Structure 1
Amino acid sequence: MSFDPTYEPREGLTHRDADWSGIDVLVVGLGVSGFAAADALAERGARVTAVSRDVTDAIAERATILEILDVDVRLGPEHVHEPPAGTQLVVTSPGVPPHDPLMLAAATSGIPVWGEVELAWRMRAAEGAAPWLTVTGTNGKTTTVGMLASILRAGGLRATSAGNIGTPLLEAVLHPEPYDVLAVELSSFQLHWQRSISAVASAVLNVAPDHLDWHGGYAEYLQAKGKIYENTHLACIYNVADIQTEQLVMEADVVEGCRAVGFTTGIPAPSMIGIVEDVLADRAFVEQRQRSAAELCTLADLQGDGPPPAPHYIANALAAAALARAYGVGPIAVRDGLRAFRPDRHRIAEVATVRGVRFVNDSKATNPHAAAAAIRSFDSVVWIAGGLLKGADVDSLVEEMASRLRGVVLIGADRAQIAAALARHAPDVRVIDVPDTDTGVMDRVVSQAARLAQPGDVVLLAPAAASMDMFTNYGARGDAFEEAVRRHEAAAGGLE
């Protein structure tokens, strides 16, 4: 049987109170999202089989709970090769790539595959469900969604961030106290499997090569990102500085009357949100946008108690403001929400200044595009880089940023690839290779970086790579860096 992407396991599965009973569903993965999917389906009478390649204590605990709900749980790699006979629907966790043998077997058998985001959309209430404001991009998603949720709450709405960050989407849509609106972060993994989401407003912040090993190539990655615009009702938000995002809007099949709205860190044209002197100005959601603009906030409102906001942080704020304005939130709530927002710990976070050298943690820069944005925020950088590049190329990053690099300290599995790019494009920059992978590696990394740095420089952890070769996640990597910096500060006597 050939795969038909429009095939439905049963007609009418568009809301939580539809007839889900008796449908044979295979749930792949028993992380937080897989467990929530199996639980929700079993509660509605579906016949659920749940499989997991991994067997951890947390997964075993979830399996025990699901077995009480009559879910057939099968743990271990021997269960993830093909769907059980009679399977009518596969619900997959976002980490499973389309070329996985189980996904290929489902496609060959004509079995529809939904991601947990697609399932969450179909588990919304039939009437009065919270609308979604959706965000994707290679970088900045989490910050933008956090800003958006803060703005919505400042506007008096019961809102939360959900999806790839924050509250699991199924938990958000099935919450006993319904939300007014959801700020939804969607990764390219999640978007690949979505089919029917119809957001009020959606945004692609930027697009650069990432996760190419998962998607199979840049064209497939770009296509996945563009799916966020499909069926959008009111506004498709794009980045004026990234022509690919506007192209994705033009290619999308949207609801009649949906507008394209750009955001720019320059002066906005009509139907854009941008910067006029030091003011975030809206020329998209005002009546007289040809001749006037609404003041949303100032750059000082974004700064809080920290350093002046970096250009990419301003761009994130503009995108969040555009999404909120598309939903009808007023300028004062935009200002108050952005003032109240505090960014992620591991996103250009100042750690300490030691003898005139600033140490900055941007462990969340897990790809070259994010690392470039971080390096661009400073004039002279000792760059700590390396990890798992996930198929990404670093040549353009190194070539563009060479003039800002005082030195480089390399760590991780793919450090040789970065070293080769530095030899080609920044041969005069001093490079120190740290091959160690033990738990004390960050102390040596920070010590070497401090030796390269001069007063006024920034030692910047912006690895341009994923962390799983050495750390549990980017947060653990950032924590290790911050702890090592504090030990370095104590050893130096805290002198500046």
Structure 2
Amino acid sequence: MGSRKVTSSEPLDWQGKHVTVAGLGVSGIPAAKVLHARGANVTVVNDGDDARAREQAAELEALDITVRLGDGATLPEGSELVVTAPGWKPDKPLFAAAREAGLEIWGDVELAWRLRGPDAAPWLAITGTNGKTTTTQMLASILKAAGLRTAAVGNIGVSLLDAVLGDEQYDVLAVELSSYQLHWAPSLRAHSAAVLNLAPDHLDWHGSMEAYAADKGRIYEGNRVACVYNVADKATEDLVREADVEEGCRAVGFTLGTPGPSQLGVVEGILVDRAFVEDRHKNAQELAEISDVHPPAPHNIANALAAAALARAFGVPARAVRDGLRDFTPDAHRIAHVADVDAVAYVDDSKATNTHAAEASLAAYESIVWIAGGLAKGATFDELVTKSAKRLRGVVLIGQDRALIREALARHAPEVPVVDLDRTDTGAMLAAVQEASRLAVAGDTVLLAPACASMDMFANYNKRGDAFAEAVRELGS
């Protein structure tokens, strides 16, 4: 961990500045409006030219903002800055032209960071392959329990532009950041930040695991108080070691085991802090009990420890950690208990859209009938099946890429019964739940943790989880 003193950027004069905004949508439209209101000459470029895009373009053109539809590759003449939607890939021709012209390329996070006022609330930032949203919401709950004015913002909840430019005053912000957002946020400097975990994801966008990890690691750059890492995931600690931070910033680990000095962990069912206490080599502070975390699955306890570490870095008292965790209710489709039917638990973790998330979900239960499958997004399943095989009573497969999971099961868990439903229609979920109920016995958990994206069968993972819950209710009626 290198050290340096980071100074904030100077206010920018936007009057007459020619700014190109890449992409309509949830980030592009607000960015265009904000820049236009500050006197910039804004041109929005967008790849698509469908009815929705034309409707959005009309909204901006009514404000005298130029919009080019169906032409997201060409850099408008006279551009002095590009502000991009986070999902636009770095290899697009527009960005090559911008770099050739010596222009900076910002995302919406960078724009919000640059536009924040001199007395702006500090940011406690969170990224990782899985668990970002839950951890950010837990953090916001803890901060609120401490009496602080806060919001969960960024990749969830309130947009960052609204948070830094709106009328509401905040003491501190809990900020979820994706790898895409971090890629386009070169000057972001958080108070403290956490990388929860790293596993292969979005490699088609980043180009390699190394590039993906490097973008995640940007969240640590310039941290002032704490860089929070996962003791069980060495790659996150490596990112801390490589980060250039302010003098005095500390590396703080979280672990499901007994914590060492400068770590938070678990001792006999108690979440404890050995990082933000006096004489951390000898002392520990009790924060909460495992039963205060909902649900108390191992990966969710890890999320709680990461949130607690960031809150403690901001000076939050131990009691607020406990109260905030007790008050927190996770979003739907995140390892959510749906019902018990004939002494079998039915759990919806439709949000487990990749193998890393599914592995964490499967680790939470002892005897499982697993419902899996969907769009694999290039993933392989051998490691997941190997680690989870001893917990599997049976497996029901659905979706387009189910054969990849079936083949991994045949290699590494040949004794586990598998029902392969050759269906990708939405009604397949009812059949899957019915088949799972036949495989399950009293005390088992039927777990929807697909390890795949949902778009082959459903509009999104929420719809997939809703279909599972509806099927369970029909089963129990």
Shorter-chain TM range is: over 0.9
Tell me which residue corresponds to 2:41: 47
Tell me which residue corresponds to 2:114: 122
Rounded Cα–Cα distance in structure 2 between residues aligned with 1:25 and 1:459: 52
Question: Which of the residues 173, 176, 181 maps onto 1:182?
Answer: 173
Structure 1 residues 311-320 or 451-460, which shifts more?
A: 451-460
Judge conservation of contact 2:47–2:73 (CA < 8 Å) in 1.
Answer: no
Tell me which residue corresponds to 1:112: 104
Q: In the superposition, relative to structure 1, how do residues 48 and 462 fare at CA in structure 2: closer, same or farther (>3 Å)?
A: same
User: In the alignment, is residue 338 of structure 1 matched against residue 329 of structure 2?
Assistant: no
User: In the alignment, is residue 160 of structure 1 matched against residue 159 of structure 2?
Assistant: no
Rounded Cα–Cα distance in structure 1 between residues aligned with 2:246 and 2:34: 30
Question: Which of the residues 87, 90, 93 maps onto 1:98?
Answer: 90
User: In the alignment, is residue 273 of structure 1 matched against residue 274 of structure 2?
Assistant: no
Structure 2 residue matching 1:358: 3-state secondary structure: strand
RMSD: 1.8
Tell me which residue corresponds to 2:4: none
Tell me which residue corresponds to 1:435: 422
Question: Which of the residues 331, 334, 338 maps onto 1:347?
Answer: 334
Query: 1:349 deviation in Å?
Result: 0.2
Tell me which residue corresponds to 2:281: 290
Rounded Cα–Cα distance in structure 2 between residues aligned with 1:445 and 1:425: 22
Contiguous gaps of at least 5 residues in structure 2: 1-6
Question: Which of the residues 79, 84, 88 maps onto 2:71?
Answer: 79
Tell me which residue corresponds to 1:400: 387
Tell me which residue corresponds to 1:27: 21
Q: Aligned letter for 1:186? A: L
Q: Aligned letter for 2:168? A: E
Matches within 5 A, 1:54-69: 54=48, 59-69=53-63
Rounded Cα–Cα distance in structure 1 between residues aligned with 2:177 and 2:267: 30
Matches within 5 A, 1:228-239: 228-239=219-230
Normalised TM-score (structure 2): 0.94
Q: Aligned letter for 2:18? A: D
Tell me which residue corresponds to 1:4: none
Rounded Cα–Cα distance in structure 2 between residues aligned with 1:455 and 1:314: 26
Q: What whole-Å deviation, never above 9, does each CA across 1:316-358 have from its counterpart, x for those lacking one?
A: 1111011001011111111111110111111100111112221
User: In the alignment, is residue 140 of structure 1 matched against residue 131 of structure 2?
Assistant: yes
Query: 1:57 deviation in Å?
Result: 5.9
Q: Aligned letter for 1:48? A: V
Question: Which of the residues 305, 328, 343 maps onto 1:318?
Answer: 305
Judge conservation of contact 1:13–1:20 (CA < 8 Å) in 2.
Answer: no
Q: Aligned letter for 1:250? A: R
Structure 1 residues 166-175 or 47-56, which shifts more?
A: 47-56
Rounded Cα–Cα distance in structure 1 between residues aligned with 2:289 and 2:8: 46
Judge conservation of contact 2:150–2:173 (CA < 8 Å) in 1.
Answer: yes
Q: Aligned letter for 2:271? A: L
Tell me which residue corresponds to 1:302: 293
Structure 1 residue matching 2:376: 3-state secondary structure: coil
Q: Aligned letter for 1:132? A: W
Matches within 5 A, 1:236-247: 236-247=227-238
Q: Aligned letter for 2:414? A: P
Structure 1 residues 99-108 or 472-481, which shifts more?
A: 99-108
Rounded Cα–Cα distance in structure 2 between residues aligned with 1:56 and 1:134: 35
Rounded Cα–Cα distance in structure 2 between residues aligned with 1:37 and 1:247: 34
Count of residues in correspondence between the two structures: 471
Rounded Cα–Cα distance in structure 2 between residues aligned with 1:374 and 1:104: 41
Q: What whole-Å deviation, never above 9, does each CA across 1:81-122 have from its counterpart, x for those lacking one?
A: 222222222211122222234333433443322111111111
Q: Aligned letter for 1:231? A: G
Q: Aligned letter for 1:130? A: A
Tell me which residue corresponds to 1:218: 209
Q: Aligned letter for 1:106? A: A
Query: 1:58 deviation in Å?
Result: 5.4
Judge conservation of contact 1:13–1:19 (CA < 8 Å) in 2.
Answer: no
Q: What whole-Å deviation, never above 9, does each CA across 1:262-311 have from its counterpart, x for those lacking one?
A: 111111111111112122111111122121112211122225xxx6x011
Q: In the superposition, relative to structure 1, how do residues 412 and 94 fare at CA in structure 2: closer, same or farther (>3 Å)?
A: farther
Rounded Cα–Cα distance in structure 1 between residues aligned with 2:378 and 2:115: 35
Rounded Cα–Cα distance in structure 2 between residues aligned with 1:56 and 1:429: 48
Rounded Cα–Cα distance in structure 2 between residues aligned with 1:474 and 1:51: 30
Normalised TM-score (structure 1): 0.91
Tell me which residue corresponds to 1:7: none
Q: Aligned letter for 1:82? A: T
User: In the alignment, is residue 445 of structure 1 matched against residue 432 of structure 2?
Assistant: yes
Query: 1:56 deviation in Å?
Result: 6.0
Query: 1:387 deviation in Å?
Result: 2.0
Q: In the superposition, relative to structure 1, how do residues 391 and 105 fare at CA in structure 2: closer, same or farther (>3 Å)?
A: farther
Question: Which of the residues 344, 357, 373 maps onto 2:344?
Answer: 357
Q: What whole-Å deviation, never above 9, does each CA across 1:35-57 have from its counterpart, x for those lacking one?
A: 11111111111111123334566
Judge conservation of contact 1:138–1:210 (CA < 8 Å) in 2.
Answer: yes
User: In the alignment, is residue 38 of structure 1 matched against residue 28 of structure 2?
Assistant: no
Q: Aligned letter for 2:450? A: P
Rounded Cα–Cα distance in structure 1 between residues aligned with 2:108 and 2:146: 29
User: In the alignment, is residue 198 of structure 1 matched against residue 189 of structure 2?
Assistant: yes
Rounded Cα–Cα distance in structure 2 between residues aligned with 1:63 and 1:475: 29
Structure 1 residues 78-87 or 242-251, which shifts more?
A: 78-87
Q: Aligned letter for 2:132? A: K
Q: Aligned letter for 1:73? A: V
Judge conservation of contact 1:237–1:319 (CA < 8 Å) in 2.
Answer: yes
Tell me which residue corresponds to 1:388: 375
Structure 2 residue matching 1:286: 3-state secondary structure: coil
Contiguous gaps of at least 5 residues in structure 1: 1-11, 491-496
